[in-house]
Amino acid sequence: MSFVLHIDGERWRAGHDQFVADRPGIVPVIKGNGYGFGRDLLCAEASRLGVPMVAVGTYTELPEALAAYGGDVLVMEPYRAAIHAAVPDLANRRAVHTVTSHADLDGLRGATPEARVVVEGLTSMNRFGTPANEVAELAGAADAIGATLHLPLGTGHIDEITRFIAAVPGVRSWFVSHVSTAELATLAERHPEHEFRPRVGTDLWYADKGSYEVRAHVLDVRPVAKGTPAGYRQRPLPAGHVVVVSGGTSHGVAMESPSSAATPRSRAIAVAEGVLEAAHRVRSPFTVSGVMPRFAEPPHMQCSLLSLPAGVAPPRVGDEVTVRMRLTTTTPDAVIVS
Ligand SMILES: *Cc1c(COP(=O)(O)O)cnc(C)c1O
């Protein structure tokens, strides 16, 4: 247990309470690596929040969510008769399916006649969906409980949503993704007869960014003279200390893009040499003795070699160091809620 996501439970939950209070009808999204926290923990958190529905990304994630959470579970990937006809829990009454075509609707109802569905409209995202002028017909045929719209990041969605609402007069509930609270307020004001249900993951689970952090252990520390070779690549180190910390590629510790290199020159070198070869010029996400040292070489599977510059006090074996990472691609050894 050495690469651990620590959560201050009280503070983390308070952030969610406030976020949910500000967004009536919110549908928390629980998918992938559970935003770093794990899907089961988020299901438990959704239960505590008392929301009536959560959304998962895929059918693979459905059974676990149905087991860990007692409300409705919306599957955001569209049902495809060719792919999903035999997936577990298709007929579970708490599952809500997304459809984008008559063929898939027929396949789904053939497998489970009572299936509850939403119809997804094809937005400027251009990912999944039914063209706006066909949503009304499909939603009618499906007796859909609502329509869904997945919009690009950013704002400026009101016009696009308004076009759908005008084209689909029979639908009252709209599940929308990536719509700001200001946009939601505008929509609610303009369309009081409709209900808008924001599907939110990132902004909800990371509502209070100070309420959690990833910490790694210092596994070894050694003073080195300038030019000492180290690592798989035997690259010469600068003078200072080589510090071995827990956390490697299996945890999601990766070379950052060249944009994280310190100077325009080092960015240019990183691009020219390829990011991996530029490792010793790239800052690591670990904070050691108040600085973010560079990688001595690309991270290993479960640990990383860092090059701590001369003049910086070395840490001790067993010390904990914080890691600044994007949690959607982090796989910690453990998640500890205190
Ligand atoms: C992932 C996803 C969301 C949640 O996205 P966040 O940016 O994490 O809030 C919402 N809607 C759909 C369709 C998604 O795939």
User: Domain ends where: 140, 174, 205?
Assistant: 205
Residue-level pLDDT at 262: 58
What is the 57 CA–ligand 1 centroid distance (Å)?
8
pTM listed for this prediction = 0.92
Residue-level pLDDT at 26? 98
**CATH, residue 153:** 3.20.20.10
Q: Ligand 1 center to residue 201 CA distance, Å?
A: 6
Per-residue pLDDT of the chain in tens (338 residues, 90 and over written 9): 599 999 999 999 999 999 999 999 999 999 999 999 999 999 999 999 999 999 999 999 999 999 999 999 999 999 999 999 999 999 999 999 999 999 999 999 999 999 999 999 999 999 999 999 999 999 999 999 999 999 999 888 999 999 999 999 999 999 999 999 999 999 999 999 999 999 999 999 999 999 999 999 999 999 999 999 999 999 999 999 999 999 999 999 986 654 455 566 666 666 665 655 555 678 999 999 999 999 999 999 999 999 999 999 999 999 999 999 999 999 999 999 99
Query: Does residue 85 form part of some domain?
Result: yes
Ligand 1 is surrounded, with C-beta below 6 A, by: 29, 31, 57, 76, 150, 177, 199-203
- The whole-number pLDDT of residue 101 equals 97
| Top mutation candidate among 76, 161, 329 for ligand 1, by most atoms within 8 Å of CB | 76
Distance 123 CA to ligand 1 centre (A): 14
Residues 159, 226, single domain; the answer is no
Residue 1 lies in a domain: no
User: How does strand 235-236 pair with strand 146-150?
Assistant: unpaired
Sequence-distant (6+) residues with CB within 8 A of 69 are: 30, 43, 44, 46, 47, 54
User: Containing domain of residue 304, as a range?
Assistant: 211-337
Within 8 A by CB and 6+ apart from 250, the residues are: 301, 302, 331
Q: What is the CA(303)–ligand 1 centre distance, in A?
A: 31
Pocket test for ligand 1, best of 199, 200, 204 (most atoms within 8 A of CB): 199
Assigned domain for 3 exists: no
Nearest CA to 111 out of 137, 76, 82 is that of 82
Alpha carbon of 193 to ligand 1 centroid (Å):
25
Does 74 lie in the same domain as 95?
A: yes
User: What is the count of structural domains for the chain?
Assistant: 2
241 shares a domain with 178? no
Here the CATH number for the domain that contains residue 309 is 2.40.37.10
Minimum CA distance residue for ligand 1 atom 7: 202
- Same domain, yes or no, for 199 and 269? no
Atom of ligand 1 lying closest to residue 204 CA: 9
Of 205, 238, 270, the residue at which a domain comes to its end is 205
Give phi and psi for 177, each to the nearest 5: -120, 140
